[in-house]
Structure 1
Amino acid sequence: MRSLSLLACLLVVTPFTIASDAQKNFDLKPFKIDLTGEIPRLRSLVNNTRLPDKALDPDAGQEKGIELDILRELQSDWLKNFDWKVQQTELNNFSHFTALIEGQSVHFVHQKSEDPNAIPLILLHGWPGSFHEFLPVINPLTESSTSASGKTVSYNVVVPSLPGFVFSSAPPANWTVDDTARIFNTLMTDVLGYSTYAVHGTDWGSVVAYSLYSSFNTTVRAAHFVFLPFLPPSAEDIAANNITLSDIQKVTEHRVIEFNAIGNGYLIEQRTKPNDIGLALYDNPVGQLAWIAGKIKLWSDPRAGTSPSVLDNTAILTSVSLYCLTDSFLSSVWIYAQNADALKTVYTKAPTDAPLLFSQYEYNVGLWPEEYVAKVGNLVSYNVHDFGGHFPGLDNPPALIDDLRDIGLYFEA
């Protein structure tokens, strides 16, 4: 289905002017999402999937995996209330492109500001996310805003799909996050023509972003993270270093302890047996829904779906639909096996003077106190938010927008 899905994504004319050299050397093309032809089969698969009549343990919470009644509700919404055409139209309101870099077809959104001094900013998602999780923040970031110091800030926003995710092609077997960082630096500099830029990363996107921050220190001149490619310190380590946590951070610390105890089974499975889960769920939309939605709900703020969060059932179903309609679930989980040692145990500082900003969200599944973040880069800003989780672009868009705008206070081309 994936090859058919990609062929269904038609070219369109957009207002963005493609540089002739980039068009020639990187096969840079405008891109439009058109997956409506796949919807009848998707709906048939969803409709014909049977679920158990009752839960084996009605008292089991989400710590045992997605709850049956939640999955049944999502399946029903997928059939009765969810309209892919509406979501596809919203996705196509952004300027999409593809480029061929080192043999990899890279899909990305490129939304430009009207400000000629706008800062180039690349936003990097993780698993089980996609470019979709940043859509609420893209347009606001292209608009000019004025900081308390009177500085005007706006961004040219680039949101690529990681290799193997949705519309980007699956990478070869030995592909690493450092390879992804390299082609994304090529995307920003050689394809789009930006000599310097800023980067934001979450989840796997933070691993790629840190590789960019560390290895491409002449082009990456600022970085913002909500997750780090270093194992979070244990509660014992934090206490031993006499670090006092705020009440919000104590909630996050509890989340990390809980995640380490009962929440990382998926990680072991995808790191060691990606084909087992990837092939088992390959043509099983409701299975992918259970696997992905369970993580989204567990890792996000318990208040998700209430303001300021936009992480509701429609957002979850859009995210899962993108995986299903592009047949990219299997290739997406392989990122774990290809980068089994991505999270480092030893904290090292990147060889760059570029400013680093960090935001800690209360219900994220990783906690990095300020003292630890300062070990890995030139930390200039550390914020703690009392709303939001692992997907702040959906879970708390206003806070993420404000924090990303802070990059402009420190960015120097």
Structure 2
Amino acid sequence: MQASMTSPVKHEIHPFRIDLSSRISRLELLVKNTELPSNPLYPGAGLEFGLQLDFLRDLQAHWINDFDWAKQEAKLNQVSHYKTTIGDQTIHFVHEKSQDENAIPLLLLHGWPGSFHEFLPVIKPLTERHINLEGRPVSFNVVVPSLPGFLFSSAPPQDWKDLDSAKLFNTLMTDVLGYSKYAIHGTDWGSNVAYHLYESFTSNVRAAHFTFLPFIPPLPQHIADNNIPLSEHQQVTLQRTVGWLSTDQGYFQAQTFKPNDIGLALHDNPIGQLAWIGTQYHRSSDPRAGTGPSVLTKDAILTAVSLYYLTGSFHSSVWQYARNVNPFRDYTKTPSDAPLLWSSFKYEIVLWPESHVAKVGNLVSYKEHDFGGHFAGLDNPVALIEDLRDIGRFFK
């Protein structure tokens, strides 16, 4: 499984260390001085109406009394960060290499409101040599870029599309880092970018793993009409799909059609960003979040929000939606013969049955997990690591 290398084009790569301490005092001041209502306006209003006041008050108290940014920043800096310039775009990325010379290059792509941070629990383990069930060693050289407009990557032009990001990241992998062949993983918006890579760069992308897809999910009536069998856990995911498509898409509509409204309103409002982002982690994850194997704790949510606020990238991140209207497309199959692997987590917000995943690629593995949700790297990192290692069975 020799991972072939090309001779990288001369792009300057600059080692980078996260240091956002200059903005911490303002963050702490605003968090401490933000007054929330003492009681819910309508105590009987459930989650279908949005964030619960008690949840937000609890996170604010933790932010004030227990959260240690310096400690979290040190954890973020335990992986190797870099910046490079491709065209007019500055790209931030993590690049952690295995000591195994046969390691598979693996590109991990996040979505919103994620970042490289959601993959932090899986990066180092994936670089370690692991003997799979076939007795073959598997390890990875892991690359995790920040999407354009997210955190330390520069904001792209207004007409920038996910296909542009795919072209950018293929250049990063091949011309900048010298990997002529590599594997990809995509979730949320990262799945859109990853699928563009999968179908457009067929000689470079030689394996693809997804937990989310840019294809229209089937509704219950379609599943019933076509007698598509579902497991118990898929029945739960299907109900999550109905909820997301009906009442849980308010943020999606706002960011698609009025990104400046929410972006400017919350630009210098960390509690506002916590409310807007925190509810996505709360509602899109396993209800057992924070208990093993989940590492989606209060600190994890606050670190995610702090990164957006301290980098001043909340506004440019929500433009991801406005730049890519109608991300879910009709089913087409990629021309690539590269293997496609799938992980289905019980509390994911959208369900794609095996029959539908098979429509879009060369499906070789479809795994279901009873624990986990939309942010698999935080929700169930153990399962995600295991499933990504399966790439080693198929990568050539």
Partner letter of residue 94 of structure 2?
Answer: V
Match of 1:393 in 2: 377
Q: Secondary structure at the match of 2:371?
A: coil
**Counterpart selection for 1:30 from 15, 19, 28:** 15
Structure 1 unmatched runs, 5+:
1-18
- Once residues 173 and 326 of structure 2 are traced to their aligned partners in structure 1, the CA distance between those partners, rounded to angstroms, is 27
RMSD: 1.1
Q: Does 1:290 align with 2:275?
A: yes
Q: What does residue 152 of structure 2 align with? A: 167
Residue of structure 2 in register with 1:93 after alignment: 78
Shift of 1:341: 2.0
Equivalence for 1:364: 348
Structure 2 residue 267 is matched with structure 1 residue 260: no
Question: 2:247 is paired with a residue of what secondary structure?
Answer: helix
Once the 2 structures are TM-superposed, how far is the Cα of residue 47 of structure 1 from its aligned partner? 1.1
Q: Give 1:265 shift.
A: 1.0
After superposition, the Cα gap between the structure-2 partners of 1:250 and 1:21, relative to the gap in structure 1 and judged at 3 Å, is closer
Q: Does 1:280 align with 2:270?
A: no
Contact 1:271 1:340 in 2 (8 A): yes
Percent identity between the two aligned chains: 62
- TM-superposed CA distance for 1:21, in Å, is 6.1
2:124 aligned with 1:139, yes or no?
yes
Per the TM alignment, residue 254 of structure 1 is displaced from its structure 2 partner at its CA by 0.6
Question: Quick one: which amino acid aligns to residue 185 of structure 2?
Answer: H
Tell me what 2:35 maps to: 50
Amino acid at match of 1:124: L
| Residue of structure 2 equivalent to 1:377 | 361
CA distance in 2, matches of 1:80, 1:20: 50
Residue 211 (1) aligns with residue 206 (2): no
| Per-residue deviation, 1:299 | 0.3
AA aligned opposite 2:267: Y
Question: 2:335 matched to which residue of 1?
Answer: 351
Contact 1:62 1:294 in 2 (8 A): no
**Residue in structure 2 matched with residue 330 of structure 1 by the alignment:** 315
Displacement after TM superposition at 1:40 (Å): 0.4
Q: What code does the residue aligned with 2:197 have? A: L
Mapped partners of 1:300, 1:61: distance in 2:
17
User: Does structure 1 retain, via aligned residues, the 8 Å contact 2:90–2:154?
Assistant: yes
Q: Is the 8 A contact 1:361 1:387 kept in 2?
A: yes
SS in 2 for 1:402: helix
Return the offset for 1:62.
2.3
Aligned residue number for residue 16 of structure 1 = none
Once the two structures are superposed, the pairs formed by residues 144-223 of structure 1 within 5 Å of their partners are 144-223=129-208
In 1, the alpha carbon distance for the partners of 2:223 and 2:213 equals 16
Deviation at 1:20, TM superposition (A): 10
Where 1:224 maps in the other structure, the secondary structure is strand
Q: TM-score, normalised by structure 1?
A: 0.93
Question: Of 305, 311, 322, which residue of structure 2 is paired with 1:320?
Answer: 305
- Post-superposition offset of 1:61: 2.6
Look up the match of 2:230.
245
Shift of 1:342: 1.6
Residue 128 in 1 paired to residue 117 in 2? no
Q: Secondary structure at the match of 2:294?
A: coil
Letter of the structure 2 residue corresponding to residue 363 of structure 1: Y
Give the distance between the partners of 2:333 and 2:342, measured in 1 at CA.
15
